Amino acid sequence: MKRSFLFIASLVFLLTACAPNFQKEEEVKSETGDNETETAILPKFKISDEYYSMSLPFKTSEARGLVVNNLNSRYDISEFESGLMRVAQNTFSTENYYFQEGQYLNSSTVASWLNRKYTAKELKDKKMSESDNVGLNPSDEDKSQAESGEMDPIYLAHILEHDYLVKNEETNKLELGGVTIGLALNSVYYYQEKNNGSTKKKDISQQTLQREGKKIAAEVIKRLRKIEGLENVPINIALFEQKETSSVVPGNFIAYENAGSGESSLGEWKSINEKYVIYPNNDSQYKTENAAFSKFQNDIEEYFPNFNGVIGKGFYINNKLRSLSIEMKIQFYGATEVIGFSQYVAGKVMDRFKDTNQAVQVSITSANGEEALIVRDAGQDEPFVHIYQ
């Protein structure tokens, strides 16, 4: 009896030692928009070093809803927001900074900056002064173009602000440590012809996009320095190229630059080499990845001929595949079939995608909704499988 008690006590001690350490959350002071202080909570648990911790309560941005109206697709919306956090990590480490949605650019400011520059006549008609003429897109002053509808393109589609907070150890207070601004730029400009009202489109080269984007960024940094609270903090500005409305892959960031504390100009821009690719495709540049994906696809067809297809989306950084997400829709007839099929797919993930530096995620759905999720994080040998109940 005594030996059994000692064994159980030892087991409890071992399990306690191995369990995650969920310490009590830390309370700090944080400034509100009215320059008053409130209590904020810093969670102790962190999902991954790839993500920023966020102070609670979560403060939403007043301009957050505009992104849905201004970007072309849900793919662009998601990548613009998550990609901007990835860009921020070049300057603000996830270890020392806490994320907060933008608190300085409100919806009316963002909307006014997205306008075209008004002509003198438009200002007069609108009874506005020149100080209100803050649109960052080119004016439609060229009447010869305006008659056909093909005016200078709208380059700037949206502006997104992310704030990064640091903890002042002396005052136990969260303070603004830096800001990252994303400028979403149109790679395609849509306009309506004046004579018949049909919608036309005009492609914008990346060279033009970068030139115009950098001009806009130079003006934005000057304006930000005039906003109370942003006079001295480091500010990143990143350029995002959004795809056309019919694209099934999101756009990507193409360049960024930083203005140091108190600086009102940007230095030398740094290129960002990121890209999303759909599989299968016929591009010889992705021959190896296409071959692996085709073998995986054939494996699925052999196991389950009656399926609606497998589509993969690869994310490349500096021309190297970093992550692959796969979606497959299949008609299932029972829970045991879902379990058996998911186990089979998980094995094929290991067989066909052997490079463990690449993260792989497989989403299996049916007419009834989500059935299973298979995830192999980068650095892991085996995937995690979750069956939805």
Q: Tell me what pLDDT residue 197 has.
A: 74
> Do the first three CATH levels of 26-272 and 277-387 match, i.e. the same topology?
no
Which amino acid belongs to residue 193? Answer: E
Domain 277-387 has CATH 3.30.450.30: no
Cα–Cα distance measured from residue 344 to residue 347, given in angstroms and rounded to the nearest whole number: 5
Q: Tell me what pLDDT residue 93 has.
A: 95
Longest dimension (CA), the chain: 97
Q: Tell me what pLDDT residue 45 has.
A: 74
305 three-class SS? coil
Averaged pLDDT in 10-residue chunks for the chain of 389 residues: 38 40 63 66 78 87 84 91 96 94 96 93 87 91 53 93 93 93 95 79 94 97 97 97 92 96 94 95 92 93 76 95 93 85 94 94 92 94 92
Cα–Cα distance measured from residue 93 to residue 164, given in angstroms and rounded to the nearest whole number: 10
- Model pLDDT for residues 173-215, shown as the tens digit of each residue: 899 999 999 999 999 998 887 777 788 899 999 999 999 999 9
- The full set of domain ranges for the chain reads 26-272, 277-387
- Model pLDDT for residues 218-247, shown as the tens digit of each residue: 999 999 999 999 999 999 999 999 999 988
Q: Which of 62, 45, 63 is nearest to 54 (CA)?
A: 45
Cα–Cα distance measured from residue 29 to residue 38, given in angstroms and rounded to the nearest whole number: 6
Q: Tell me what pLDDT residue 13 has.
A: 36
Identify the CATH number of the domain defined by range 26-272. 3.10.570.10
- pTM of this prediction? 0.86
Residue 136: phi and psi, rounded to 5, are -100, -5
- 351 near 291, Cβ under 8 Å? no
367, burial (CB in 10 Å: exposed 0-12, middle 13-18, buried 19+) = exposed
- 99 near 85, Cβ under 8 Å? yes
Q: For residue 3, what is the enclosing H or E element?
A: helix 2-18
